[in-house]
Amino acid sequence: MAFYVVQFLTGLASAASLFLVASGLSIIFGVTRIVNFAHGAFYMIGAYIAFTLTERFSGAFGFWGGVVAAALAVALIGVLVEIVLLRRIYHAPELFQLLGTFGLTLMVEDLVVLIWGPDDLVGRRAPGFKGAVDFFGQNIPSYDLFLIALGPVVLGVLWLLFQRTRWGVLVRAATQDRDMVAALGVNQKWLFTSVFAVGVFLAALGGALQIPRDAVHHAMDLRIIVEVFVVVVIGGLGSIVGAFVAAVLVSELNAFGILIFPKISIILVFLVMAVVLIVRPWGLFGKPEAAARKTPGLSVNPWRPLTLNERLASLAALIIAAMLPLFAGNYALTVGSEIAIFVIFAVSLHFLMSVGGLASFGHAAYFGLGAYGVAFLAKMAGLPMIVCLLLGPLLGCMGAAVFGFFAVQLSGVYFAMLTLAFAQIVWSIAFQWVSVTGGDNGILGVWPEKWAASPSHFYWLALGVAALVTIALRVMVFSPFGYALRATRDSLLRSEAVGINAKRIQWTAFVIAGTTAGIGGALFAYLKGSVFPDNLGISLSVDALVMVLLGGVETVSGGVIGAIVYKALNIWLVSQTDLSKLVLGGFIVLIVVVFPKGIVGMLEILAQRRRKSSPPGSSLLAKPVESAE
Amino acid sequence: MRARNSFVGAAFALLAAGMGHSALADDIKIGEINSYSLLPSFTEPYRKGWQLAVEEINAAGGINGKKLVVISKDDGGKPADAQTAANELVSSEGVAMLTGTFLSNIGLAVSDFANQKKVFFLAAEPLTDAVTWAKGNKYTFRLRPSNYMQAAMLVEAASKLPAKRWATIAPNYEYGQSAVAVFKKLMSEKRPDIQWVDEQWPPQGKIDAGPVVQAVAQANPEAILNVTFGPDLVKLVREGNTRGLFKGREVVSFLTGEPEYLDPLKEETPEGWIVTGYPWYSIKTPEHDAFLKAYQAKYNDYPRLGSIVGYQTIKAAAAIIAKAGSTDTDKMIAAAEGISMPSPFGEITFRKIDHQSTLGAFVGKTAQKDGKGVMVDTSYKKGSDYLPSDAEVEKLRPKD
C-alpha cells in the first residue's frame, strides 16, 4: 500500500513540473491566440541561466535566488521577443506566429550549444531538499514534496491574480473576447506583452526548477514542448485549472501505467488526448471557441484562376524545371526530386489549411503511411514499382478516412491537436511493431526499378507527379466542391444554412489531402530506398506547416513556393554550415517580419497594388469572381 | 564595367570559398557524416578526434603521397537527411568512401545506400548488430564493438555476481531493445538460475525517472541492468540515489564509463557499477600515451570516447586506402577484409567474415574521486574474444 501512495506522490511531482510550464502556455494562448512554439525554448533557457547562476552563487540564497533571477531574466527576453517580433505579426493569418516562434526555437537550440558548450550539464541539488523522506520503508525525495506543494501554490497565485486583480479581469475578458476588450479602450499592446511575460516567466521557472532533477542540455525544449501542448489541450485551452487537472491526470496515468505496460510512456499522453478530445471536443475544462470574427483579409484579395499569361508563365517555369537534367549533376537532381516530393506534401497540407481552413499538426502521418504502404507492397508482396506507387498511397487514404472522420468533428486548435495525436499513435505503432515495420531501424532496400533508377528519370517522375497534383488541387479549388469547402471555412453556420453538409465536405477534403500526402510519401520511399518512423514524425509535420506558412496560407498555391524555398534552403544550409539551425531560424524570423503574409501572399499584394494603379478595365475582370465569393 | 567584373569575380571567389572546395583533384577525399547538431556531446570530441587523425596522416606524407581531405556533413539525426548528405558526398564531392554515423537507424540507412550505390562505407559508431549481421552487406564495415560484443563483455562480469533476481531499464528503441535481448540471452545461457523480475522501457530522452525508479524498486531485484545514457542516465541516477534504489543492489550498465556520460554525473556518480567505457586517465600503453599526448597538445582538453572513435575511423580509412593502393571500391573492400592496424587500444583487425573490427572496450567499476566520476579496476577486453563462432556468424549474415 505504501508503494502505491509513494507512486502517486511521485506522479504528483511530475505533474507539478509539467503544470508550471503548461500554465504559462495556456495563459499565452488564451489571450493572444499565439501557438507559442518557443515555449520549450524559454523553458530551456531558464534551465541554462539558472545553471550558470546557481553554480556561481552557492548556498541557499544563491540557489533559490538564482532560480528566480533566471526566470525573471528569461521573462525579460520574452518581453523583448514579444515587442520586437510578435507585435508585428498579431494581424497576420492564424498560426503565422507559430512560424516565428518556430524560427526562434531553431535559433535557440544552436545558441545554447554555442554559449554553454556541447556537454550535458548537471546542476546542484536544492539546498534543504537534498535527501529523501522515509514513508513506511519507501523513500520520497524531499524535492518531490516541495514540487508537489509548489504546484497548487502556483495555481492559487494565478487564480488570485486572475480573479482578484484588475489586470486579471482584463486578461479574462481578453480570453473571452479580445475584440470587445479592444473596443472598450483597453491598451491591448501592453496587456499582451504582460501576459506573454508572465507565461514565459512560468516556463523559465519550470525549467530552472528542473536543475536538481535533470541534466541541462540542448534538446530539453523539444522534449517538453509537445507534452505541454497536449496537457494544455486536454485541460481546455486557456483554463489554468484544466491544465492542472490534465497534468495530474497524465502524470498519474504514466506513473501507474508503466507498472502494467512498461512501454506505455511513449504514447500515453497522445492516447489520453485522443480519447478526451473525441469525448469532449474542447478539452476537460474548455468552452466552445466563440466563432472568430473574420478579419476581412480574405475577401480583400479574392482568389481567381490563373490568367492566360500566368498559366503560360507557370508552364514555362515547369519546362525550365524539366530541363534541369540537361545541365545539373546527379546530386542536384536528387535534391530536385526531394524538393518536388515536398512540393506534393506541402500542397496537400496547403489544400487542407487554406481552402478548408483546417490546420493539421499531424499531416506527416499520411505522408509516412504512403511510404510504409509502398514499403509493405514492395518488400512483402514483391509488387512492381508502378503498382506500389499506385496502391501505396491508399494506406494514407485509409488512414485519413478513419482519423479524418473524428478530426473534422472538431475545429481550430483542437482539430490540429487531434490530428497530432493520431499522427503520434501511427508513429508509435510504426516504432513499436518491430516484427512488421522493423521498428526504428525501418524497412530498407525499397529502391526504384531500372526505368526510374537514374536520377534524371526519377526527377522527371517526381516533377511530373508534383505538377499533376498541384494542377489537380487547383482545379478542385475552383470546382463547386472547392467553393463549398471555402464556404465551410468562411462561415460554418451560413454554409449549413444553404444546405452544405459541412462535416462531409471537410471529411472529403481531409481524405483528399491525406491521399495526396500519401503520394508524396510513396515517392519519398523510393527516393530514399528506405522507410523509417521519422517519416511519420512530428518534425516532418512541423516542416510541412512551416512550408505552407512560409508560402502564404491565404494564397491558392503558396505551398509550392514555400516548399521549394524551405527545402532548398534547409538542404543547402545543413550541407554548408554547422550552425544550420541558427541561420535557418534567423531566416524564418526575418521572413516572418518582412513578409507577414508569406512569400507568395506578399507578392500577390504587390501585384495587386500595381493592378490598382493601372486602368480600371483590368480590375473589372476580377469582379465576377469577387461576387461569387 | 571593369569594376562590375571584379565584383562578379569576387562574388564567385566567395562562393567557391564558401563551398569548401579546397581539395585538389589529386587529393584523396573521404566523406564523413554524423549527427553533429543532434548529439554535440558525443560529436564534438569525435570531430576533434578525426581532425587530429587527418593532421597526423598529412604530416606523415598523406596516403601513398596524396593529401587526405575529409568532407564532413551533419545529418541532424534523421536517416533521410543522412542519405541526402551521403548522396552529396558521393555524387557531388566524389569522395572515395563514406564514414561516420552514430545512431543505429542512420548507420543502417547509409549502409543500405552504400549497398545500392556500390560505395565503401566504414560505420564508426552505430552499435546495432544488424549493421554487420542481419542487414550486413559487402560494402559496409564497422569500427566500434557492437551491442553483442559489449553485452558479452558485461555478461562475463555479471554472471559471476551472486544475484539471481534481475530487472532491466532500457530506452525504448532498437538500441535498448537489442541490448537487453542479447544480455538476457547470454546471461541466461551462463546462469539458468536467473529470474527476470521487471523491465522498464522509458522513451529515449523522455524518462520520467521517479516512477521508473519506484517501479523497479517495487520488484525488489538483486541486480539491475541499465542501458540508458545521456540526460536520461542523469535523471535515473539522481532519482535512484535519492530513493536508495542502488543501495545493496548490483548494477550493470552499458556505456556508463564513457566520459561523455560519466563526467556530467560528478558527485552523483554511483559507486561500484560494472560498466563499459573509456578510462583515458588510467590506460598506460605506448599507443594510447602517444594518442593522449597528441590530443591534449592540440586541443588542451582530454579525449572522450568519441575522440577515439573519430580518430580511429579516419586512421582505419587511411590504412585501408593505403593498402588497396587505390580508391577503387572493390580493391578497398579486398584490402579491408582482414586488414590489421595499430590503434590507441592496440592492434585491431577488420574481420573478413562479417566486416566487424576487433576494437574492444574497457570494463571496470564506477567510483568517485575528488567529486568526479571515474572507472576503476579496469581491464581492456579485446573485441575478438567476444564474438560468436564463425559458424554462428555465417548463419546470422546474409550471403553477399
Q: Compute the C-alpha angle A608/A614/A616, nearest 5°.
A: 95
How far is the alpha carbon of A427 from chain B, nearest alpha carbon, in Å? 13
Amino acid at A50: A
What are A353-386's pLDDT values in tens digits? Answer: 989 989 899 999 999 999 999 999 999 888 999 9
Q: Does A337 touch chain B if contact means CB atoms closer than 8 Å?
A: no
Contact assignment for B201 to A265 by CB distance below 8 Å:
yes
Q: Same domain for B75 and B222?
A: no
> Are residues A389 and A400 in contact, defined by beta-carbon separation less than 8 angstroms?
no
Q: What is the per-residue pLDDT for B113?
A: 95
Q: What is the per-residue pLDDT for B24?
A: 53
H helix count then E strand count, chain B: 13, 14
Contact assignment for B83 to A530 by CB distance below 8 Å:
yes
Q: Same domain for B322 and B372?
A: no
A2-279 CATH choice from 1.10.860, 3.30.190, 1.10.287, 1.10.3470: 1.10.3470
Residue B11 belongs to some domain of the structure: no
Read off the C-alpha cell for A102: 518556430
Burial class (CB in 10 A: 0-12, 13-18, 19+), A437: buried
Q: What is the per-residue pLDDT for A600?
A: 85
What are A199-209's pLDDT values in tens digits? Answer: 999 999 999 99
Contact assignment for A575 to B73 by CB distance below 8 Å:
yes
Q: Compute the C-alpha angle A384/A390/A395, nearest 5°.
A: 110
Q: What is the per-residue pLDDT for A527?
A: 94
Beta-bridge partners for A400: none
Contact assignment for B112 to A445 by CB distance below 8 Å:
yes
Residue B391 belongs to some domain of the structure: no
**Which CA distances in Å does A275 have to A234, A264, A289, B278?**
9, 15, 20, 47
Q: What is the per-residue pLDDT for B25?
A: 59
Q: What is the per-residue pLDDT for A365?
A: 96
Amino acid at B379: S
Measured CA to CA, the distance from residue A532 to residue A376 in angstroms comes to 12
- Neighbouring C-beta atoms of residue A281, cutoff 10 Å: 17
- For residue A107, pLDDT over 90 is answered with yes
Contact assignment for A440 to B174 by CB distance below 8 Å:
yes
Could you tell me what percent of chain A has a pLDDT over 90?
59
Nearest neighbour of A255 by CB, restricted to B41, B76, B211? B211
Nearest neighbour of A215 by CB, restricted to B73, B88, B235? B235
Identify the domain containing residue B220 by its residue range: 148-280+362-386
Mean pLDDT of the B35-51 span = 93
Residue B17 belongs to some domain of the structure: no
Q: Same domain for B49 and B140?
A: yes
Enumerate residues 6+ apart whose C-beta is below 8 A from B66. B26, B27, B28
How far is the alpha carbon of B348 from chain A, nearest alpha carbon, in Å? 28
Q: What is the DSSP string of B188-207?
A: HHH-TT-EEEEEE-PPTT--
Q: Does A297 touch chain B if contact means CB atoms closer than 8 Å?
A: no
* Closest residue by Cα to residue A75 from A212, A245, A234, A197: A197
Q: What value does the mean pLDDT of chain B take?
A: 91
> Are residues B321 and B332 in contact, defined by beta-carbon separation less than 8 angstroms?
yes
* Closest residue by Cα to residue B334 from B345, B350, B310, B318: B350
Mean pLDDT of the A183-191 span = 88
Q: What is the per-residue pLDDT for A90?
A: 82
Contact assignment for B218 to A251 by CB distance below 8 Å:
no
Q: Same domain for B197 and B121?
A: no
What are B105-147's pLDDT values in tens digits? Answer: 999 999 999 999 999 999 999 999 999 999 999 999 999 999 9
Q: How confident is residue A139, by pLDDT bands cut at 50, 70 and 90?
A: confident
A chain contacts of residue B234, beta-carbon cutoff 8 Å: 120, 122, 214-215
A chain contacts of residue B173, beta-carbon cutoff 8 Å: 431, 439-440
A chain contacts of residue B238, beta-carbon cutoff 8 Å: 212-214
Q: Same domain for B246 and B229?
A: yes
> Which CATH number goes with the domain that contains B274?
3.40.50.2300
Q: Same domain for B249 and B368?
A: yes
Q: Same domain for B30 and B111?
A: yes
Read off the C-alpha cell for A148: 508537489
- For residue B347, pLDDT over 60 is answered with yes
Contact assignment for A122 to B264 by CB distance below 8 Å:
yes
Amino acid at B37: S
B chain contacts of residue A145, beta-carbon cutoff 8 Å: none
B33, containing H or E segment? strand B28-34
A chain contacts of residue B19, beta-carbon cutoff 8 Å: 576
Contact assignment for A574 to B205 by CB distance below 8 Å:
no
Measured CA to CA, the distance from residue A206 to residue A37 in angstroms comes to 16
Residue B185 belongs to some domain of the structure: yes
* Closest residue by Cα to residue B122 from B317, B359, B345, B360: B317
Q: What is the per-residue pLDDT for A606?
A: 84
Nearest neighbour of A10 by CB, restricted to B173, B210, B268? B210
> Are residues B383 and B356 in contact, defined by beta-carbon separation less than 8 angstroms?
yes
Enumerate residues 6+ apart whose C-beta is below 8 A from A530. A375, A442, A443, A444, A445, A446, B79, B83, B108, B109, B112
How far is the alpha carbon of B231 from chain A, nearest alpha carbon, in Å? 5
Q: Compute the C-alpha angle A343/A348/A349, nearest 5°.
A: 100
Residue B72 belongs to some domain of the structure: yes
Measured CA to CA, the distance from residue B59 to residue A253 in angstroms comes to 60
A chain contacts of residue B198, beta-carbon cutoff 8 Å: 262
Distance of CA B343 to the CA centre of its chain: 15
Mean pLDDT of the A411-418 span = 88
Measured CA to CA, the distance from residue B113 to residue B119 in angstroms comes to 8
Q: What is the per-residue pLDDT for A290?
A: 60
A492, containing H or E segment? helix A492-497
Q: Same domain for B211 and B186?
A: yes
Contact assignment for A3 to B76 by CB distance below 8 Å:
no
Contact assignment for B234 to A255 by CB distance below 8 Å:
no
Q: What is the per-residue pLDDT for A627?
A: 32
Q: What is the per-residue pLDDT for B185?
A: 95
Q: Check residues A424 and A33 and name the one with the higher pLDDT.
A: A424
- For residue A431, pLDDT over 80 is answered with yes
Q: What is the per-residue pLDDT for A301?
A: 60
Contact assignment for B109 to A580 by CB distance below 8 Å:
no
Mean pLDDT of the A435-440 span = 88
- Chain A residue at shortest CA distance from B84: A335
Residue B18 belongs to some domain of the structure: no
Nearest neighbour of A141 by CB, restricted to B128, B202, B243? B243
Q: What is the per-residue pLDDT for A511?
A: 97
Residue B208 belongs to some domain of the structure: yes
Q: Same domain for B202 and B272?
A: yes
Q: What value does the mean pLDDT of chain A take?
A: 89
Q: What is the per-residue pLDDT for B8?
A: 41
Measured CA to CA, the distance from residue B396 to residue B400 in angstroms comes to 12
Q: What is the per-residue pLDDT for A265?
A: 86
- For residue A443, pLDDT over 70 is answered with yes
Amino acid at B233: L
Could you tell me what percent of chain A has a pLDDT over 70?
95
Q: Check residues B174 and A299 and name the one with the higher pLDDT.
A: B174
Q: What is the DSSP string of B256-297?
A: EESHHHHGGGGGGPPSS-EEEE--TTS---HHHHHHHHHHHH
Q: How confident is residue B95, by pLDDT bands cut at 50, 70 and 90?
A: very high
- Chain B residue at shortest CA distance from A432: B173
How far is the alpha carbon of B196 from chain A, nearest alpha carbon, in Å? 14
DSSP state of A140: E
Q: What is the per-residue pLDDT for A614?
A: 56
- Neighbouring C-beta atoms of residue A591, cutoff 10 Å: 21
Mean pLDDT of the B310-327 span = 96
Main-chain dihedrals φ then ψ at residue A289, nearest 5 degrees: -70, 135
How far is the alpha carbon of B66 from chain A, nearest alpha carbon, in Å? 25
Contact assignment for B200 to A262 by CB distance below 8 Å:
yes
Q: Does A223 touch chain B if contact means CB atoms closer than 8 Å?
A: yes
A-B CB pairs within 8 A amount to 201
Burial A167-196 (b: 16+ CB within 10 A, else e): eeebbebbbeebeebeeeeeebeebbbbbb
Measured CA to CA, the distance from residue B21 to residue B27 in angstroms comes to 11
Q: What is the per-residue pLDDT for A134?
A: 87
Mean pLDDT of the A605-609 span = 81
Residue with cell 475544462: A285
Q: What is the per-residue pLDDT for B85?
A: 94
Burial class (CB in 10 A: 0-12, 13-18, 19+), A4: middle
Interface test with A, best of B105, B178, B199 (most A CBs within 10 A): B105
Q: How confident is residue B2, by pLDDT bands cut at 50, 70 and 90?
A: very low
Measured CA to CA, the distance from residue A478 to residue A482 in angstroms comes to 6
B chain contacts of residue A338, beta-carbon cutoff 8 Å: 84
Q: What is the per-residue pLDDT for A297?
A: 47
Nearest neighbour of B105 by CB, restricted to A223, A251, A441? A441
Q: Same domain for B292 and B257?
A: no
Interface test with B, best of A122, A431, A540 (most B CBs within 10 A): A122
Enumerate residues 6+ apart whose C-beta is below 8 A from A356. A485, A488, A489, A506, A509, A510, A513
Q: How confident is residue B22, by pLDDT bands cut at 50, 70 and 90?
A: very low
Measured CA to CA, the distance from residue A566 to residue A546 in angstroms comes to 8
Measured CA to CA, the distance from residue B203 to residue B208 in angstroms comes to 9
Q: What is the per-residue pLDDT for A331?
A: 92
Q: Same domain for B226 and B122?
A: no
Contact assignment for A444 to B174 by CB distance below 8 Å:
no
Q: What is the DSSP string of B380-395?
A: EE-GGGGS--HHHHHH
Enumerate residues 6+ apart whose C-beta is below 8 A from A459. A324, A325, A333, A334, A336, A337, A340
How far is the alpha carbon of A424 from chain B, nearest alpha carbon, in Å? 13
What are B202-233's pLDDT values in tens digits? Answer: 998 889 999 999 999 999 999 999 999 999 99
Residue B135 belongs to some domain of the structure: yes
Q: How confident is residue B23, by pLDDT bands cut at 50, 70 and 90?
A: very low
A chain contacts of residue B268, beta-carbon cutoff 8 Å: 122
- For residue B12, pLDDT over 90 is answered with no
Domain layout of chain A by residue ranges: 2-279, 324-538
Q: Same domain for B154 and B141?
A: no
Q: Does A567 touch chain B if contact means CB atoms closer than 8 Å?
A: no
Mean pLDDT of the A550-574 span = 89
Q: How confident is residue B149, by pLDDT bands cut at 50, 70 and 90?
A: very high
Contact assignment for A574 to B20 by CB distance below 8 Å:
no
